[in-house]
Amino acid sequence: MKPTATCILGGTFNPPHRGHIEAALDVCREIDCEAVGLMPCRLPPHKQIADLSEQHRVRMVELAVENTDNLYPELLELSLDEPSYTVKTLKYLRQRDEHAPLIFVMGEDSWQSLTNWYEWEKLSELAHLVVMRRQTQRKNLAPALVKLKTGHKISDPARLYQQPAGYIYFAETRLQPISSTQLRDALGHSPSDTAWLSDWLQPSVLQYIKENRLYV
């Protein structure tokens, strides 16, 4: 029997949409984990996005996953002192169980820019990294990432459960042709222009956005 692992997908989730949900479920199925936690991060300074309280983002994530057995809200990062860094969050998650597998899921765009993250070299020491496919322009990887990929990439996801951290797995998740930026832009337009929003936002999330007049 494989050990229980903690699997986390971080993001701003501003707002959370079906692209996030479907990608998380794809990962859950592909690597055969029990559940994926959607972890709202603090809004990073370099993200020029709508000023939205953490309370709203938390509530939208709760609504987005409430009817999905394999997903849950993981709110740890919002409870930590600033500054907010992924490496610090993973250290706290690692403290929950030093020996259990810890899996951090990221998009391909984040993987390509990983060398810009604070103490990025320590991430694979604390967790396994699972990279999801994204509709993003392929870039030449930094030499340090090429070295990391060469030394740590695996093709069998079952190996993620054989040790606490250290592997990198590239998942064949379905591409999701939507972004939170597109949804925020659309939410500022008239309803006649945004009927397609219900294709990407769960009814409860869309209702919450309308009731609280978010993004307008």
Q: Is 123 helix (H, G, I), strand (E, B) or coil?
A: helix
Q: Which residue's structure tokens are 């706290």? A: 92
Beta strands in 133-195 (DSSP E): 153-154, 168-170
Instruction: For residue range 137-176, list pLDDT tens digits in order.
Output: 667 899 999 999 999 999 999 999 999 999 999 999 988 8
| Topology, domain 6-177 | Rossmann fold (3.40.50)
pTM: 0.91
For the segment 85-95, the average pLDDT, to the nearest whole number, is 94
How far, in whole angstroms, is CA 160 from its chain's centroid?
18
CA 198 to CA 17: how far, in whole Å?
10
CA triplet 128, 133, 135: central angle to 5 degrees? 145
Whether the Cβ atoms of residue 160 and residue 169 lie closer than 8 Å to each other:
yes
> What local confidence, expressed as pLDDT, does residue 136 receive?
63
81: DSSP letter: P
Instruction: For residue range 77-89, list pLDDT tens digits in order.
Output: 998 888 889 999 9
Instruction: For residue range 48-79, list pLDDT tens digits in order.
Output: 455 678 899 999 999 999 989 999 999 999 98
Instruction: For residue range 174-211, list pLDDT tens digits in order.
Output: 888 888 888 998 888 755 566 788 899 999 999 999 99
For the segment 18-28, the average pLDDT, to the nearest whole number, is 95
Query: Which residues partner with 168 through β-bridges?
Result: 129, 153
Q: Is 8 helix (H, G, I), strand (E, B) or coil?
A: strand
> What local confidence, expressed as pLDDT, does residue 196 receive?
83
CA 147 to CA 69: how far, in whole Å?
37
CA 192 to CA 194: how far, in whole Å?
6
Beta strands in 108-211 (DSSP E): 128-132, 153-154, 168-170
Whether the Cβ atoms of residue 40 and residue 57 lie closer than 8 Å to each other:
yes
For the segment 11-26, the average pLDDT, to the nearest whole number, is 94
